[in-house]
């Protein structure tokens, strides 16, 4: 048996997309880890799966995300744009709806070939992040020493810890990222963003992703950075979040219950097929 896949990316946050809509079995964490290997597999930050949506559900597909370490993620912004691009190209439509663990997300074509996804409202309660115990999400009591002037914890369907720093380039991503990901405050671990406010319209951010490590970009992370900065009154309700791989525009309208709108590019790199030998090797391991 051979398995078809598509390699995609959103500003360098890269994905292998597996289309399971023909009834193919869901990938195991072991398959995800083997595929994520950049030398012996294909390489990706997240594995994105497309499964059939229930008739009448309003969704074009059910979209799932597994990290490079095989762990699941409830949300993935850049992956959602890539899944939306695939479904738009396939259907010829300019808008699609994705059923994800974080809810039904709508995506539409924006100007300049970009794609906007409504990532849904941020979740700001301590139980929703989740934190391990009741605490102020705008001043979470981290056990890990850090250089931030302010910290926010929030969920975009997956947990984020945003640290506001004076210089994002100098942030010790490789050492503090993994420590904060596993800080005892985060029972489900967390994605970690170091954010430097440039002005009211721009934030520079660098990301350590739960289950994937340093990535060139993180869509849900950019949403978390934007929301945290907006809630602190540091930026306007539309902000450019500059990540290592490129820029995402994050808008969060003031309307009660509004979702966070994330706009950026999505690209297909190539289509491929996993060989029978590769699949057998994963099974035998």
User: Would you name the residues annotated as active-site residues?
Assistant: 76, 218
Check whether 77 is labelled as a binding-site residue.
Answer: yes
Check whether 181 is labelled as a binding-site residue.
Answer: no
Question: CA nearest 48: which of 275, 245, 266, 259?
Answer: 266
Question: How distant is the alpha carbon of residue 20 from its chain centre?
Answer: 21
Smaller CB distance to ligand LBFN2T5F: residue 45 or 183? 45
Question: ∠ CA(185), CA(159), CA(96), 5° rounding?
Answer: 170
Q: Tell the smallest beta-carbon distance from residue 204 to ligand LBFN2T5F (Å).
A: 17
Q: Quick one: which of 100, 155, 220, 249 contacts ligand LBFN2T5F (CB under 6 A)?
A: 220
Smaller CB distance to ligand LBFN2T5F: residue 261 or 278? 261
Decide if residue 158 touches ligand LBFN2T5F (CB under 6 A): yes
Applying CB under 6 A, the span of 164-172, 216-224, 234-242, 269-277 interacting with ligand LBFN2T5F comes to: 216-224
Q: Tell the smallest beta-carbon distance from residue 55 to ligand LBFN2T5F (Å).
A: 28
Torsion of CA 210, 211, 216, 217, to 10 degrees: -50
- How many Å apart are CA 86 and CA 234, to the nearest integer? 36
Q: Tell the smallest beta-carbon distance from residue 218 to ligand LBFN2T5F (Å).
A: 4
Smaller CB distance to ligand LBFN2T5F: residue 75 or 227? 75
The partner residues of 51 in beta bridges, in order of sequence, read: 62
240 Cβ neighbours under 8 A, 6+ residues apart: 201, 202, 203, 247, 248, 249, 250
């979702």: which residue's tokens? 259
Where does this chain bind ligand LBFN2T5F (CB under 6 A)? 13, 45-46, 65, 67, 73, 75-79, 158, 191, 209-212, 218-221
């Amino acid at each position: 048996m051979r398995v078809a896949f598509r390699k995609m990316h959103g500003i360098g946050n890269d994905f292998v997309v597996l289309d399971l809509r023909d009834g193919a079995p869901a990938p195991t964490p072991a398959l995800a880890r083997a595929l994520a290997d950049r030398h012996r597999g294909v390489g990706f930050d997240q594995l994105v799966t497309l499964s059939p949506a229930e008739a009448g559900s309003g969704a074009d597909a059910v979209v799932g995300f597994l990290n490079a370490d095989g762990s699941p993620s409830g949300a993935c912004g850049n992956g959602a744009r890539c899944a939306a691009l695939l479904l738009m190209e396939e259907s010829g439509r300019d808008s699609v709806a994705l059923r994800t663990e974080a809810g039904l997300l709508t995506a539409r074509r924006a100007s300049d070939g970009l794609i906007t996804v409504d990532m849904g409202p941020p979740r700001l309660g301590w139980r929703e992040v989740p934190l391990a115990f009741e605490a102020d999400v705008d001043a979470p009591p981290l056990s890990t020493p850090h250089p931030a002037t302010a910290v926010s914890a929030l969920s975009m369907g997956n947990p984020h810890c945003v640290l506001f720093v004076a210089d994002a380039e100098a942030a010790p991503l490789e050492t503090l990222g993994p420590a904060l990901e596993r800080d005892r405050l985060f029972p489900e671990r967390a994605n970690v963003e170091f954010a430097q406010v440039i002005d009211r319209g721009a934030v520079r951010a660098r990301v350590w992703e739960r289950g994937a490590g340093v990535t060139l970009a993180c869509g849900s992370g950019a949403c978390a950075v934007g929301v945290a900065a907006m809630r602190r009154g540091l930026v306007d309700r539309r902000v450019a979040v500059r990540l290592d791989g490129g820029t995402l525009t994050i808008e969060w309208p003031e309307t009660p219950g509004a979702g966070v709108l994330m706009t950026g590019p999505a690209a297909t790199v190539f289509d491929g097929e996993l060989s029978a030998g590769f699949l057998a090797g994963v099974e035998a391991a």
